[in-house]
Amino acid sequence: MRRSRVRRSSVVTEVELADLGDVRLNKRLATIVAGMAARPDVSLPQQAGSESAREAAYQFHRNPRVTFDKVLEPHAARSIERVVEAETALVVHDTTEFHFRGEVHREGLGRLGRGSGEGFFCHLALGVAPGGERRPLGVLGVETYVRGAERKPKGKQAKRIADREALRWGRGIEAVEQRVGGRARLVHVLDSEGDIYEVLVDLQAKKRGFVIRAGRDRALKPEPAGERLYLYSQVALQAPLAQTFASLSARRRPKEKPDAKRSSRRNRAREARDAVLDIRAMRACLKIPAQARGQGLPTSVEVNVVSVMENNPPPGVEPVNWTLLTSEPIDSEAAVLRIVEAYRSRWLIEEFFKAIKTGCSYEKAQLETYHTLVVHLAMTLPVAYDLLLARYLSRAEPATPAVAVFRSTLLDVLRYETDGKLPANPTIEEALAAVARLGGHIKSNGPPGWAVLGRGYEDALLIERGWRAARGMEKCDQ
């Protein structure tokens, strides 16, 4: 794989390529996104500044010619370019929900699973460089959808809704593959919710790469006389092929949803620990599940299987236990470790969702309709990607020059605000540490989180804005 050049995603530069059918709309988009990048964690009115700019921003969001796809297109196109440049890329798929509180109903929003409030769902595909570096490459595809107003559907109605929503996994994969057009090899990474027989069949038939966490214990073929074989028990019988180590972070107990019967076993609170993981592998022929019969699908599908099981976990602790279905080879220790590493890259999309919700405060947007909220989301995604990239570089490539991410004037501000402690040619690690200090971060508390980075970034960019205006570098928005 050719290593991608370190290159910052310039938010304003990317959105300037948007074609909204009107030069004035294009310029307004660039102005709004520049304000969002400068103050990512405050409200739209605060980002806009003047009253006239604020009203222009709201009119822009309401304009029917301004759509989610048109606004996001330049960033998605640049993300595809980064994937093609990398030659091979992971595509991590996942779904999150955006929740908007308030007493007034917002037009077009639907129910969520939290028992109160309203919002919509977002299924997103994030490009990630393979291997241990896990560099984020950008948003490759997005689908948003709204559930109806009905409460707690049951029985066949609930199953129909679940089946309809499950189709998003296949659509997301197909959309990204069509955009890339064979110019790079893709490996699609899905959590257990994406363990759908129809998706597996389609991926194998089209010879596409995938790593999917199994969500159920599937029956296997062939079946010896009088005996049924199942996936989990058969892979557990295999001799360990490799062993690796993982540092597991602490996890807080999740908030219970009002309508939840019990906590998910996979989301239980845990303390940080180092885990020894045994890796097993086998080839398996998965039998078609009962619910997939009668749809003209093959009666079985062959996949490679990799089992990741914690060796000797602490007493009373839920052990790490993943079963991964994959297209990737399993013929060596190095090969199975690459598969495990690919699945571990899933955490990056969780970080991206935090960048959207916490770093950019997206769920605090005071917009009145589904249309305006998704337009605002399209503008938020490139900003969140910039924050994610900066945080990634500070951790994975700390020696990267800060100028790869931050403007020289922003570095001047950080140097001034930290009493000259920032070196003349700082690294990205040093610059982000300065941003965190502005946000109130205490070094002994560990790495800074999204909230403190958002506060520090806002303060630094607000000071820089005045700095640039005083030197005639920034035009007034009137």
Q: Is residue 176 part of a domain?
A: yes
> Both 13 and 136 in a single domain?
yes
Q: Is residue 379 part of a domain?
A: no
Determine whether 373 is exposed, middle or buried from the number of CB atoms within 10 Å of its CB (0-12, 13-18, 19+).
buried
Q: Is residue 3 part of a domain?
A: yes
Q: At what angle do helices 23-38 and 450-470 cross, to 10 degrees?
A: 120
Q: Is residue 452 part of a domain?
A: yes
> Both 323 and 353 in a single domain?
no
Q: In terms of DSSP bridges, do strands 209-213 and 185-190 run parallel, antiparallel, or are they unpaired?
A: parallel
> Both 114 and 225 in a single domain?
no
> Both 32 and 169 in a single domain?
yes
Mean pLDDT of 45-61: 67
> Both 277 and 304 in a single domain?
yes
Q: Provide the residue type at 314 as one letter.
A: P
Mean pLDDT of 210-233: 90
> Both 328 and 362 in a single domain?
no
Determine whether 61 is exposed, middle or buried from the number of CB atoms within 10 Å of its CB (0-12, 13-18, 19+).
buried
Model confidence at 36, pLDDT cuts 50, 70, 90, reads low
Write the CATH number for 325: 3.90.350.10
Mean pLDDT of 277-287: 96
Contacts 24+ apart (CB under 8 A), 33-37: 33/379, 33/382, 33/383, 36/11, 36/360, 36/379, 36/380, 36/383, 37/11, 37/12, 37/383, 37/386, 37/461
Model confidence at 173, pLDDT cuts 50, 70, 90, reads very high
Q: Is residue 338 part of a domain?
A: no
Most confidently predicted of 27-31, 280-284, 382-386, 437-441: 280-284
- pLDDT recorded at residue 177: 98
Q: Is residue 87 part of a domain?
A: yes
Q: Is residue 196 part of a domain?
A: no
Q: How far apart (Å, rounded) are the C-alpha atoms in residues 35 and 14? A: 14
- pLDDT recorded at residue 476: 38
> Both 359 and 285 in a single domain?
no
Please state the domain count of the chain: 3
Model confidence at 418, pLDDT cuts 50, 70, 90, reads confident
Model confidence at 441, pLDDT cuts 50, 70, 90, reads confident
> Both 236 and 157 in a single domain?
no
Write the CATH number for 104: 3.90.350
> Both 123 and 222 in a single domain?
no
> Both 324 and 361 in a single domain?
no
Q: Which domain holds residue 148?
A: 1-191+346-373
> Both 234 and 166 in a single domain?
no
Write the CATH number for 428: 1.10.740.10
Model confidence at 8, pLDDT cuts 50, 70, 90, reads very low
> Both 44 and 128 in a single domain?
yes
Q: Is residue 71 part of a domain?
A: yes
